[in-house]
């Protein structure tokens, strides 16, 4: 009891000291506006750090941020608490997010549109949440979203005057007669520090936009972002570039973030990521050049251009063939490049036209560069041979076949 | 014994000691009688007069004896046979003597009458089945009157009056009409009035002494001239049922009377006349639900009128004239009221030069008969004759719109309550108005508004809710949300003048509306309410934002001072505070010293302020029911985020947050000690 008595007076002195000093915050409340991933949702963390020693248990509070006046209509906005986001025991504390754009009671006065959280706490000190000293704790993560998909604002600020909009009370442990009783809720707002960590919006950087033909009239497009700002997603436009001209015609949107989930942006991101898209549209014609434009679309709908790459759609032919070593003794490696998918036959003939060996017979081979080791049969005598590659296009009616003959010298 | 006389064309003479007894009398000629004719049958006479003595003496039950209406010298009725006097065309006249015997019944038709011009000795009964049957005393010299008979209607129309002799003893059951002459009675020679009898009196007639009154007597005054009341009105201990003043000039009451049911005036009643300033005659009106009827603009009761049964339906209790009334929703401890109205009389107090010439005095008693001088809280209606240019004008050229009711206190005239703008009815020549919140009885005057004085109260208190850093915040006013008229919520509805208050623009530094209450008793008693502002510095000020709270109509005296706010618990002084002009400079800082308050520190909230303790009214009573409980907390959660002038805004910041919740929570289970 004696200790309790002394403690009571100590608390009184501490309260008094704070009143007199009134400079050292006894708690710091920080609203952190998290990077926005999608335009219709914004998340805000309400963090608290206890700095004073005169209190431990949190009682209740009204945490209120102002919404910018620019956004309308307000009626589409709602707020919710992200489940599990609060350090508070929600079986004891009741957290009520709010978004207000008009008087909650008709006919009453009105100042500003605002959002925030009202936290109701327990009635007694033992049930209150003890806040460890100098530890950052999250009171809750508020999710602001629009019901119609329209963008929500991110330019938030603490509502001022603080003494008007904000409230923050701690639980009184014991009687400090005649001012307070145990379990009273003691307001701290005048000794609080309110900080705001706004959402940092980096530059929107897109690099390494490339287009690669991968066969079968498919083009692989890839790019990378170093950081993103309010990026809903990307949009790809394909142009046909007729032979021997610089003109681009017949543009078509081949992909956007709404149809291709892989093109969805990160919203606001410091890190960025790699993106890729495979243009498998069969409308492309062989022997023609195509160019791709890369655009991104911001939350507000603004289009941002990030570059152009062009690529040729080849015929399905053998575009390269050779052996190495040549001359050879026991084996040689046949290297060749197929511009697209073919049925490939590789045969070896002597100078008399006699087939010495069939290395490959009408095997379907996709676009690519290949190397094939061919071992010389024991019965083969020294001499000059023709290694003949015949490719039959699988999907290129403009070419009947393509052939490549490699002269190779066998030495015994 | 003669069985039958038939007289046709001959003359009959009776004289001397002859006493013919006739079974029937029928005369077509003339009978000269100098003796006595005794008739024991019906009589038919053609002649107009009949001298001598005629005795109708048939004495047989169940039969009628018809009596001709002629002029008799002396006519007497005896015997059990009913005497039928049915001629309505002319009266039966007895020039010298009219007499009826005990047990004899005279049956008079409606409209028939007996005129006695000499002595009247009536022992019999007139019309036992009916209330009519008139006997007129119409002699030219004083008539004697005796006998213990029953008159239905007795009329005195003899300038020389009538003298009751031989012990009197007769009864007038229905009407005693006194047209001319004095009915001279005395305790030894008296008569009786029947229950519910009516006395009709003129200024030329009267009764010499009090008769033996029956119950429920009514008195009607008729004719010309002023009538001074006499014994026709019983003393106030025997209430008269009704009084009708129908003469042209009114009635002067010479003694106090009580009227039980009905008071109708076509002319004034004076209970005092002349310059007497201490009139003692009182007209007490006992009826609760009905008021006097004033049938002429000049009709009013001049002097004292008392009402002992006050109607409880909230309607006005009318006094001396149609415009003088007292009205209250609740009478509280008031049991009786008396108004004294003296028209054409300048108030005799000093400083009465610019007053309406009409004296008004109000007296009040509690239900146990104790005198009440304060704490009435009634509406007092008042009127005066407004007849510019006429002798009877009482306005005396004063501007009628600026006239208000004032009450004399120790050293001057103070405004009595809140007066309504006077109305003028030129058709009847009256101006009238009323004053609400009249708390004191005593002397009233109707004077110029600017001449009125009022007590003031310098009050201070701190409210817990808006107290921040050494003073109270006037956020509501700064935001323009403080209403210019106190809203119709507790406690502002306590003040009946609330709807009429509008302060625009609101004075600087006012925090909110409060209601100052003054009580004569801690519980019960009279209440006085006054709406005021609480300022940032704690001063409770009047509607101008700077003056002490004026208390118009409040009398000097001792009062418990209570302070009400819409969401703070009310406080009240533990002891009465003396309010008087000489003490009104003292500041009553209600929350400075908790010991002065009922409940002590328990009725206040301690606040820290730079190391010292400030006491303040306890905040958080959202619903204003005098206790801080779960319902208040529920309302607070319901009204979260609401901005404006709202009761859940317990800190009066203008917005409802958990800060307001905490004001209520920290005062949980606190209850005001102020009994409503």
ipTM of the complex: 0.80
A189 touches chain B (CB under 8 A): yes
Instruction: Please name the residue that has the structure tokens 């145990």.
Output: A182
Report whether pLDDT(A28) > 70: yes
Q: Find the length of chain B.
A: 676
How large a percentage of chain B has pLDDT more than 70? 95
pLDDT of A7 > 90? The answer is no
The pLDDT assigned to B583 comes to 81
**CA B207 – CA B232 distance, rounded (Å):** 6
pLDDT band at A17 (very low <50, low <70, confident <90, very high): very low
Is B657 touching A (CB cutoff 8 A)?
A: yes
Share the mean pLDDT of chain B.
Answer: 91
Mean pLDDT of A34-55: 94
3-state secondary structure B475-539: HHHHCCCCCCCCCCCCCHHHCCCHHHCCCCCCCCCEEEEEEEEEECCCCCCCEEEEEEEEECCCE
Same domain, B373 and B483: no
Q: Is the dihedral of CA B595, B596, B601, B602 positive or negative?
A: positive
Predicted confidence at residue A161, as pLDDT, reads 95
What are the residues whose beta carbons fall under 8 Å from the beta carbon of A212, sequence distance 6 or more? A219, A220, A221, A222, A311
Mutate to test the interface with A, among B594, B643, B668, B670 (most CBs of A within 10 A): B643
Alpha-carbon gap: A297 to the closest alpha carbon of chain B (Å): 38
Over residues B31-88, the pLDDT tens digits come to: 888 889 999 888 888 889 999 999 999 999 889 999 999 999 999 999 999 999 999 9
**Claim: this prediction has a pTM higher than 0.95:** no
Instruction: Sort out which chain B residues have CB atoms less than 8 A from A118's CB and list them.
Output: 640-641, 657-658
Angle among Cα B338, B339, B345 to the nearest 5 degrees reads 150
**Is the per-residue pLDDT at B634 higher than 50?**
yes
CA distances to B343, B347, B349, B448, B552 from B352, in Å = 15, 6, 6, 10, 19
C-beta separation of A236 from A256 below 8 A:
yes
Least-confidence region, from A227-231, A339-343, B15-19:
B15-19
B168-197 pLDDT, tens digit per residue, is 999 999 999 999 999 999 999 999 999 999
Chain B environment of A181 (Cβ under 8 Å): 666
pLDDT band at B352 (very low <50, low <70, confident <90, very high): confident
Is A83 at the interface with chain B, CB within 8 A?
A: no
What is the number of other CB atoms lying within 10 angstroms of the CB of residue A102?
11
In the predicted model, what is the mean pLDDT of residues B118-144? 95
Q: For chain A, give every residue range classified as CATH 2.60.40.680.
A: 2-197
Q: How confident is the model at residue B592 (pLDDT cuts 50, 70, 90)?
A: very high
* Residues B475, B405 share a domain: no
What does DSSP say about strands B190-193 and B205-207: parallel, antiparallel, or unpaired? unpaired
Pair (B424, B563) in one structural domain: no
Higher pLDDT, A259 or B496: A259
Do the chains contact at B653 and A163, CB–CB below 8 Å? yes
Are B329 and B445 found together in one domain? yes
C-alpha to C-alpha distance for B277 and B236, rounded to whole angstroms:
21
Q: pLDDT at position A73, please?
A: 73
Q: What's the CATH code, domain A2-197?
A: 2.60.40.680
Least confident stretch, A285-299, B352-366, B445-459: B445-459
Residue B149, pLDDT score? 96
Instruction: Looking at the structure, tell me whether residues B396 and B531 fall in a common domain.
Output: no
Kindly list the residues from chain A whose CB atom is less than 8 angstroms away from the CB atom of residue B646. 105, 108
How far B523 CA sits from the closest chain A CA (Å)? Answer: 29
Chain B residues with CB under 8 Å of A180 CB are 666
Span B251-305, pLDDT tens digits? 999 999 999 999 999 999 999 987 555 568 999 999 999 999 999 999 999 999 9
Tokens, residue B445 = 């005057």
pLDDT tier, B450 (very low <50, low <70, confident <90, very high otherwise): low
Is the same domain home to B514 and B659?
yes
Q: Is the residue at B428 inside a domain?
A: yes
> How far apart are the C-alpha atoms of B20 and B14, rounded to whole Å?
8
Across the interface, whether the CB atoms of A108 and B613 are under 8 A apart is answered: no
> Based on the domain organization, do B499 and B640 belong to the same domain?
yes
Specify if B77 maps to a domain: no
Q: What are phi and psi of B639, to 5 degrees?
A: -105, 15
pLDDT tops 60 at residue B20:
no
Q: What is the mean pLDDT of residues A106-116?
A: 93
Query: Residue B218's beta-bridge partner residues?
Result: B198, B242
Helices (H), B11-120: none
Residue B498: the pLDDT is: 85
In a domain, B347, yes or no: yes
Same domain, B317 and B350: yes
Rounded to the nearest 5 percent, the helix, strand and coil shares of chain B are 5, 45, 50
- Low-confidence winner among A212-221, A260-269, B501-510 (lowest mean pLDDT): B501-510
Map A48-103 to HEC letters: EEECCCCCCEEEEEEEEEECCCCCCCHHHEEEEECCCCCCCCCCCCEEEEEEECCC
> Order of strands across the sheet with B25-27?
B5-7, B25-27, B43-45
**Same-domain status, B582 and B470:** yes
Q: Cβ separation of A109 and B665 shorter than 8 Å?
A: no
Averaged over A15-28, what is the pLDDT?
62
Is the omega angle on the peptide bond into residue B602 within 30 degrees of 0, that is, cis? Answer: no
Same domain, B474 and B612: yes
Convert the pLDDT of each residue in B202-211 to its tens digit: 999 999 999 9
Q: Residue B375 pLDDT more than 90? A: no
Query: Residues B558-571: what's their mean pLDDT?
Result: 96
Q: Which of B607, B637, B654 sits opposite A179 (nearest CB)?
A: B607
Closest CB from B479, B637, B662 relative to A185: B662
Burial class (CB in 10 A: 0-12, 13-18, 19+), B611: exposed
Q: Above pLDDT 90, what percent of chain B?
A: 76
Residue reference for tokens 């996709």: A366
Measured between alpha carbons, how far is B32 from B49 in angstroms, rounded to an integer?
9
Percent of chain A surpassing pLDDT 70: 94
The stretch A27-42 carries a mean pLDDT of 95
**B41 occurs within a structural domain:** no
Q: Is the dihedral of CA B398, B403, B405, B406 positive or negative?
A: negative
The whole-number pLDDT of residue A412 equals 83
What CATH superfamily classification does A205-313 receive?
A: Immunoglobulins (2.60.40.10)
Q: Which domain holds residue B414?
A: 310-453
Mean pLDDT, to the nearest integer, of B2-16?
44
Which of B438, B453, B468 is where one domain is finished? B453
Chain B interface includes A115 (CB < 8 A):
no
Q: CB-based contact (8 Å) between A166 and chain B? A: yes
Residues A276 and A224: their CA atoms lie apart, in Å, by 8
The answer to whether the CB atoms of B646 and A166 lie below 8 A apart is no
Has residue B5 got a pLDDT over 80?
Answer: no
User: Once rounded to an integer, what is the mean pLDDT over residues A395-405?
Assistant: 92
Q: CA-CA distance, B539 to B16, in Å (whole number)?
A: 109
Taking CB atoms and an 8 Å cut-off, how many pairs form between chains A and B?
91
Looking at B410, B431, B453, the residue that finishes a domain is B453
Q: Does the distance separating the beta carbons of B479 and A109 come in below 8 Å?
A: yes
Q: Does one domain contain both B505 and B613?
A: yes
Provide the number of structural domains found in chain B. 2
Q: In chain A, which segments carry CATH 2.60.40.1930?
A: 318-410
- Domain end: B424, B453, B482, which one? B453
Query: Which residue from A20, A178, A181 is facing B613, i.e. has the nearest CB?
Result: A178
Domain presence at residue B486: yes
Q: Is residue B655 part of a domain?
A: yes
The 10s digit of each residue's pLDDT in B238-247 is: 999 999 999 9
pLDDT band at residue B544 using 50, 70 and 90 as cut-offs: confident
Positive or negative CA dihedral for B404, B405, B410, B412?
Answer: positive
Taking CA atoms, B90 is separated from B133, B153, B215, in Å, by 14, 17, 33
Average pLDDT score, chain A: 91
Across B393-403, average pLDDT: 89
* B642 neighbourhood in chain A, CB within 8 Å: 103-105, 108
Q: Evaluate if residue B425 carries a pLDDT over 90.
A: yes
- Which pLDDT does position B624 carry in this prediction? 96
What would the CATH number be for the domain defined by A318-410? Answer: 2.60.40.1930
Q: Does B655 touch chain A (CB under 8 A)?
A: yes
Of A266 and B557, more confident: A266
How sure is the predictor about B13, in pLDDT bands with cuts at 50, 70 and 90?
A: very low
Q: What is the pLDDT of residues B320-340, one digit of tens each?
A: 999 999 999 889 889 999 999
DSSP state, residue B589 = E
Q: Which of B301, B328, B330 is nearest to B317 (CA)?
A: B328
Predicted confidence (pLDDT) per residue in B93-128, tens digit: 999 999 999 999 999 999 999 999 999 999 999 999
Contacts of B666 in chain A (CB under 8 A): 180-181, 184-185
Contact B333, B359 (CB under 8 A): no
Q: Do both B544 and B428 map to the same domain?
A: no
Q: Which residues of chain A does CATH 2.60.40.10 include?
A: 205-313
C-alpha triplet B161, B166, B170: angle, nearest 5°: 75
Beta bridge partners of B453: B414
Q: In angstroms, what separates the C-alpha of B304 from chain A's closest C-alpha? A: 55
C-alpha span between B504 and B179 (Å, rounded):
68
| A105-132: average pLDDT | 95
CB contact under 8 A, B608 and A19: yes
User: Which of B478, B566, B517, B227 is closest to B375 using CA atoms?
Assistant: B517
């Amino acid at each position: 009891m004696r200790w309790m008595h002394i403690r009571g007076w100590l608390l009184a002195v501490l309260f008094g000291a704070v009143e007199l000093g009134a400079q050292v915050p006894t708690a710091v409340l920080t609203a952190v506006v998290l990077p926005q991933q999608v335009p219709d949702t914004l998340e805000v963390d309400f963090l608290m750090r206890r700095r004073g020693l005169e209190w431990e248990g949190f009682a209740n509070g009204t945490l209120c941020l102002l919404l910018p006046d620019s956004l309308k209509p307000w009626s589409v906005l709602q707020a919710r608490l992200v489940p599990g986001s609060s350090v508070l025991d929600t079986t004891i504390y009741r957290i009520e997010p709010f978004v207000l754009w008009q008087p909650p009671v008709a006919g009453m006065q009105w100042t500003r549109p605002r959002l925030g959280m009202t936290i109701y706490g327990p009635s007694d000190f033992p049930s209150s949440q003890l806040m460890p000293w100098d530890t950052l704790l999250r009171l809750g993560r508020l999710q602001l979203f629009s019901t119609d998909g329209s963008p929500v604002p991110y330019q938030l600020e603490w509502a001022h005057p603080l003494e008007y909009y904000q409230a923050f009370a701690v639980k009184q442990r014991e009687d400090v007669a005649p001012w307070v009783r145990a379990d009273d809720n003691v307001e701290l707002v005048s000794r609080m520090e309110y900080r705001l960590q706004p959402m940092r919006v980096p530059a929107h950087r897109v690099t390494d936009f490339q287009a690669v033909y991968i066969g079968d009239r498919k083009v692989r497009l890839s790019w990378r972002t170093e950081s993103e700002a309010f990026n809903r997603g990307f949009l790809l436009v394909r142009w046909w570039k007729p032979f021997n001209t610089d003109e681009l015609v017949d543009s078509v949107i081949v992909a956007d973030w709404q149809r291709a989930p892989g093109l969805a942006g990160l919203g606001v991101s410091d890190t960025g990521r790699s993106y890729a898209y495979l243009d498998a549209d069969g409308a492309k014609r062989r022997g023609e050049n195509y160019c791709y434009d890369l655009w991104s679309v911001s939350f507000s709908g603004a289009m941002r251009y990030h570059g152009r790459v062009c690529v040729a759609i080849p015929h399905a032919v053998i575009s390269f063939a050779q052996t190495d070593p040549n001359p050879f003794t026991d084996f040689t490696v046949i290297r060749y490049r197929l511009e697209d998918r073919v049925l490939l036959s590789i045969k070896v003939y002597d100078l008399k036209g006699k087939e010495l060996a069939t290395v490959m017979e009408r095997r379907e081979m996709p676009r690519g560069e290949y190397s094939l080791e061919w071992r010389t049969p024991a019965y083969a005598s020294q001499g000059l041979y023709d290694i003949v590659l015949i490719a039959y296009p699988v999907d290129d009616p403009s070419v009947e076949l393509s052939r490549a003959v490699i002269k190779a010298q066998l030495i015994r | 014994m003669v069985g039958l006389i038939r007289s046709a064309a001959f003359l009959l003479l009776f004289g001397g000691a002859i006493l013919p007894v006739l079974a029937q009398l029928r005369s077509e000629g003339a009978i000269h009688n100098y003796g006595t004719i005794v008739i024991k049958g019906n009589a038919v006479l053609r002649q107009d007069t009949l001298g001598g003595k005629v005795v109708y003496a048939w004495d047989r039950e169940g039969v009628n004896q018809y009596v001709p209406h002629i002029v008799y010298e002396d006519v007497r009725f005896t015997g059990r046979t009913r005497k039928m006097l049915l001629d309505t065309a002319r009266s039966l006249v007895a020039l010298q003597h009219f007499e009826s015997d005990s047990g004899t019944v005279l049956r008079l038709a409606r409209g028939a009458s007996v005129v006695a011009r000499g002595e009247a000795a009536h022992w019999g009964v007139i019309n036992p089945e009916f209330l009519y049957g008139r006997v007129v005393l119409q002699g030219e010299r004083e008539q004697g009157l005796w006998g213990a008979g029953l008159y239905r209607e007795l009329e005195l129309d003899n300038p020389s009056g009538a003298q009751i002799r031989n012990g009197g003893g007769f009864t007038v059951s229905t009407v005693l009409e006194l047209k001319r002459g004095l009915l001279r009675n005395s305790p030894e020679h008296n008569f009786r009035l029947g229950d519910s009898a009516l006395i009709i009196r003129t200024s030329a007639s009267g009764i010499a002494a009090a008769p033996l009154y029956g119950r429920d007597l009514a008195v009607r005054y008729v004719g010309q001239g002023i009538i001074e009341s006499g014994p026709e009105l019983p003393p106030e201990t025997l209430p008269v049922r009704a009084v009708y003043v129908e003469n042209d000039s009114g009635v002067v009451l010479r003694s106090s009377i009580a009227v039980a049911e009905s008071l109708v005036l076509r002319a004034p009643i004076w209970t005092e006349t002349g310059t007497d300033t201490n009139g003692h005659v009182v007209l007490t009106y006992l009826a609760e639900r009905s008021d006097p009827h004033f049938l002429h603009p000049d009709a009013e009761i001049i002097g004292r009128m008392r009402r002992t049964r006050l109607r409880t339906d909230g309607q006005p209790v009318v006094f001396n004239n149609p415009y003088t009334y007292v009205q209250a929703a609740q009478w509280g401890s008031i049991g009786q009221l008396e108004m004294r109205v003296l028209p054409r009389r300048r108030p005799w107090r000093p400083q009465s030069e610019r007053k309406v010439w009409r004296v008004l005095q109000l007296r009040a008693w509690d239900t146990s008969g104790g005198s009440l001088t304060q704490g009435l809280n009634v509406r007092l209606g008042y009127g005066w004759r407004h007849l510019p240019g006429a002798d009877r004008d009482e306005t005396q050229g004063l501007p009628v719109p600026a006239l208000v009711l004032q009450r004399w206190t120790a050293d001057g005239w103070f405004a009595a309550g809140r007066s309504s703008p006077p109305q003028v009815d030129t058709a009847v020549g009256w101006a009238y108005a009323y004053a609400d919140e009249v708390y004191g009885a005593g002397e009233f005057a109707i004077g110029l508004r600017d001449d009125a004085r009022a007590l003031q109260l310098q009050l201070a208190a701190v409210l817990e809710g808006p107290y921040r850093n050494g003073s109270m915040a006037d956020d509501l006013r700064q935001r323009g949300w403080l209403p210019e008229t106190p809203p119709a919520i507790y406690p502002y509805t306590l003040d009946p003048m609330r709807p009429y208050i509008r302060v625009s623009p609101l004075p600087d530094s006012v925090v909110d509306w409060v209601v100052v209450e003054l009580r004569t008793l801690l519980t019960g008693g009279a209440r006085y309410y006054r709406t005021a502002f609480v300022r940032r510095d704690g001063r409770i000020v009047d509607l101008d934002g700077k003056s002490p709270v004026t208390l118009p109509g409040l009398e000097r005296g001792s009062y418990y001072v209570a302070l009400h706010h819409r969401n703070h618990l009310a406080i009240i002084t533990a002891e009465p505070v003396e309010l008087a002009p000489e003490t009104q400079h003292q500041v009553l800082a209600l929350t400075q010293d908790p010991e002065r308050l009922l409940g002590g520190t328990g009725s206040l909230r301690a606040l820290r302020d730079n190391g010292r303790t400030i006491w303040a009214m306890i905040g958080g009573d959202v619903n204003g029911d005098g206790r801080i409980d779960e319902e208040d907390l529920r309302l607070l959660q319901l009204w979260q985020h609401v901005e404006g002038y709202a009761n859940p805004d317990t800190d009066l910041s203008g917005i409802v947050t958990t800060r307001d919740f905490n004001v209520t929570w920290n005062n949980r289970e606190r209850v005001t000690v102020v009994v409503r």
